[in-house]
Structure 1
Amino acid sequence: MKKTWRTGALAVAAIGALALSSCGFSGDKGGDSASGSGGGSGESVALTMLIPTYSDGTKGLWEKTISAFEAKNPNIKITLEVQSWENIEGVLSNKIQSKQAPDIYNGGAISSFAEAGQLAKAEEITSPETLANFTDSFSENEKVAGTQYGLPLIASDRALFYNKALMKEAGVTDVPKTWDELLEASKKIKDKTGNPGYGMPLGKEEAQAEAAMWILGAGGSLGDEQNITIENDQTKDAFAQMKKMMDAGVTQSNPGSTQRTPMMSGFVQGKMGFVYALPPTAADIKKQNPKLDYGIAQPATKDGKPVTLGVADRLASFSQDQAKKDAVKKFMDFFFADDQYLAFVKGENFLPTTKSGATAMGSDEALKPFIDLLPSSKFYPTTNPAWSDTDAAFKALLGKLEKSSAEDIAKEIQAKADAAS
């Protein structure tokens, strides 16, 4: 029997609601009833935690949280493992195969693991008070066949970062809103300054995100909980425009093998005209190159109408042992309490997924460009069990767009999605 999967589009309304947080949320403090105290007695429990790197500060933020938690719960020890986004899915797969799946996992799509019965239910790894503090639609987006497994960790979206100094040097006066304008502006920057006009990372680190920005910009989508839709006119238009940018020579060298993280360093250092990036990029600029003259605007699209790719990552647990589930619950309640959680969210420059967190951060002006885009956010169809394989197909195949046709790449990715359905 075919199962019914909830669509990731439910998260769009939830993220949009963050922009109205100052008047819409209750301000409850999740986790007060289970702050992590009282863990000093009982049998010792060892937990493993696998997380990706969002920024240079990710590891330090988690280490600080874990240290504070262990101080209140000396019988619980957490071993932290940090991987790049490029490697984390492969590492997770190997751990599952060797029966060493992490007790706490921070990552992307989890529906296939839920379907296989490998995940603990959300109600097993957090208290009712903490669970109720998540914005409702985010919680809905974490449900598979009606059961919630993931705990929404962070929310964000992508915007167009632009280098004002390079634009001025190249004689570009207006920030591009359409594909044609972006291509023309990128050409001028490349011709006049010698720097890449646009950064296009098609390596396996985040090829799916770059593709999604262009597909959404063409008026398309990646599918929903029942169908993955890649091979269509909108995707072909998007891939054709991406190829046009590469063929025009306005991107960095070898875009097909470029990973996002090193490419972003080029923009931060002032050596690139335009890139799509998340809020943490602003923090990286402030830390690494505070004199950079840059701005943030809506993504360029085919028709100029704003749309963006939203991000909603989660924490989940592969724990099956009851003692470990209880220990994970203590950690989750400790982490999602405002004092710990908001320090993490602000440290990574993301948006919160909790009601109380949204209330606390709703007036942050630094997040305004991204908050303004939230109502137009679209999401990966992560509740479709075929999305994991589709995501992998983007990462493995999109780099070939540099030398292959838009039609062929769309067809190959769709074939991988169909095979997983």
Structure 2
Amino acid sequence: MRRRKFLLHTAGLTGTTTLGTTALGATALGTLGLTACSAETDSPLKILVASYDKSVGSSIGDQWGGLIGAFKKAHPDIEVHLERVPFTKLDQTLARRVKDGDAPDIAQSNFFAPYAEDGKLYGADDLFDVRTEGDFIRSYAEAGMVDRVQYGLPFLASTPRLFYNKALFRQARVKAPRSWAELREAAEALKAIGVPTPYGLQLGPEAAEDEALAWLLADGGGYAGLTGYDFATPSNIDTLTWLRDNLVVRGLAGADPRSLTRTEAYAQFLRGKIGMMIAHPVLMGAADQAKFPYAHAPFPKKLGGVAPPVGLNDWLMAFKQNGRREQCGTFLSYLYGRKSALAYGGSQSALPVTSSASDALRKDPKHRPLWDFIDQMPQAQFQPTNLGSWPEVRSAVRRRIGEAVAKGGSPKAVLESLDEAATQAEL
């Protein structure tokens, strides 16, 4: 029950998937920097981060180089050693290092709660002064908490919106949907003009938990309640049943949503094969470069109105093992300071996670394309990443959730199986 005390009004997405197991996601990593902690010894601060291939815009490697170079000028007494590992191996590499007693000082990961529950991490109040700690956007700070203490520091943040192909929408004579009924009608009109996948339902193994959560939140559901996981609720069953009967069975969500990954969905959208889909600001960079005719709108609630957005990010965390609290705090405070947040955040790759940096970008006309995404951040709701069992439960969601909406699938049975998987993971 200790794990379940976190107030899950931000219960939803994070552990998330990163924006980028994809080439497009690579740009998603270009913004917010990471930080490092130096020791009181002569040994350098060890920072473990993900590596990504270059795609649209700057690579994360370029960002790290600039960030660390600037930090070393400001703090020449703190040496930094940066280690990059492929994103797909990051979580496994970190887990192995921690198990072997060789934890880095600071690490990037999809998960923080298992390490926090084992007492291996510094809390934000150990690392920052009150002003800096209080500058994190509240929804993102709360999503990084275990037992009301923030251990996960949001990094590479985003909120999605409903992207749509303006040319296809004009041809089909439809507008951005404001309810699920309008979304279905738009999808039917797109199908009538020959669009292969009117709505890109991304329930493949890359990020199925993100797509599913967006739909569940839009009808008052989610993955967890105040007392822990709660999948098989009436609301969740109704949502997945609606998806099955109104989109999948009618052929409005492509050939097989269970295999559609975020990477492939983005690529198909830019080829004009998908009419509309949930996507993150990173897609704008690729679309702008290709001069692609797109627009985006809030994802709608079932009966109309704006749905709560899914919050997405990776996490940074500072490990206690090497006793470098002060140096970790110095580096992290530099990273999340307003000057650095503006310098290394606010591109179309990711959104700044501090209120001061977000406010500055919101006032700058150069960043107008990001304003709608920034405005959503305080309302973002997250996956239950504060639960140490979430990595295992997330894997079950990725494997099973697509079966619920397949033709002949049983949303109730799938959701009940996820409750069972969650119970086993908690034990």
| Cα deviations by residue, 1:240-277 (Å, 9 ceiling, x for unpaired) | 23323222222244321222123212213433100101
Aligned twin of 2:399 = 396
Percent sequence identity over aligned pairs: 25
Aligned twin of 2:229 = 228
Shift of 1:80: 3.3
Aligned twin of 2:190 = 189
Q: Which moved more, 1:231-240 or 1:264-273?
A: 264-273
Secondary structure at the aligned position of 2:197 is classed as coil
- Tell me, yes or no, if structure 1 residue 265 matches structure 2 residue 270: no
- Whole-angstrom distance in 2 between the partners of 1:220 and 1:54: 36
- Whole-angstrom distance in 1 between the partners of 2:45 and 2:150: 25
- Whole-angstrom distance in 2 between the partners of 1:256 and 1:346: 33
Q: How much is the aligned-residue C-alpha RMSD, in angstroms?
A: 3.3
| 8 Å Cα contact 1:162-1:294 kept in structure 2 | yes
| Cα deviations by residue, 1:40-93 (Å, 9 ceiling, x for unpaired) | 996131413224769944513233213333455475232232544x65444444
| 8 Å Cα contact 2:124-2:151 kept in structure 1 | yes
Q: Which moved more, 1:302-311 or 1:124-133?
A: 124-133
Q: Which moved more, 1:139-148 or 1:263-272?
A: 139-148
- Whole-angstrom distance in 2 between the partners of 1:45 and 1:75: 7
- Tell me, yes or no, if structure 1 residue 292 matches structure 2 residue 295: no
Q: 1:368 to 1:354 in 2, by over 3 A?
A: closer
User: 1:269-418 residue pairs with structure 2 within 5 A?
Assistant: 269-287=271-289, 289=290, 291-311=291-311, 313=313, 314-323=315-324, 325-363=325-363, 364-374=367-377, 376-401=379-404, 402=406, 404-418=409-423
| 8 Å Cα contact 2:11-2:225 kept in structure 1 | no
- Whole-angstrom distance in 2 between the partners of 1:298 and 1:55: 29
TM-score normalised by L of structure 1: 0.81
| Cα deviations by residue, 1:120-157 (Å, 9 ceiling, x for unpaired) | 22244445553343345644443322333222335432
Shift of 1:327: 3.7
Shift of 1:228: 1.1
TM-score normalised by L of structure 2: 0.80
Secondary structure at the aligned position of 1:153 is classed as strand
| 8 Å Cα contact 1:52-1:107 kept in structure 2 | no
| 8 Å Cα contact 1:125-1:332 kept in structure 2 | yes
2:106 pairs with 104, 107, 114, which one? 104
Shift of 1:110: 2.1
Amino acid at match of 1:369: D
Aligned twin of 2:424 = 419
Amino acid at match of 1:207: A
Q: 1:132 to 1:174 in 2, by over 3 A?
A: closer
Secondary structure at the aligned position of 2:309 is classed as strand
Q: 1:137 to 1:196 in 2, by over 3 A?
A: closer
1:151 pairs with 150, 153, 161, which one? 153
| 8 Å Cα contact 1:36-1:69 kept in structure 2 | no
Q: How many equivalent pairs are there? A: 393
User: 1:11-50 residue pairs with structure 2 within 5 A?
Assistant: 43-50=42-49
Name stretches of at least 5 consecutive residues in structure 1 with no aligned partner.
13-34
Q: 1:92 to 1:408 in 2, by over 3 A?
A: farther
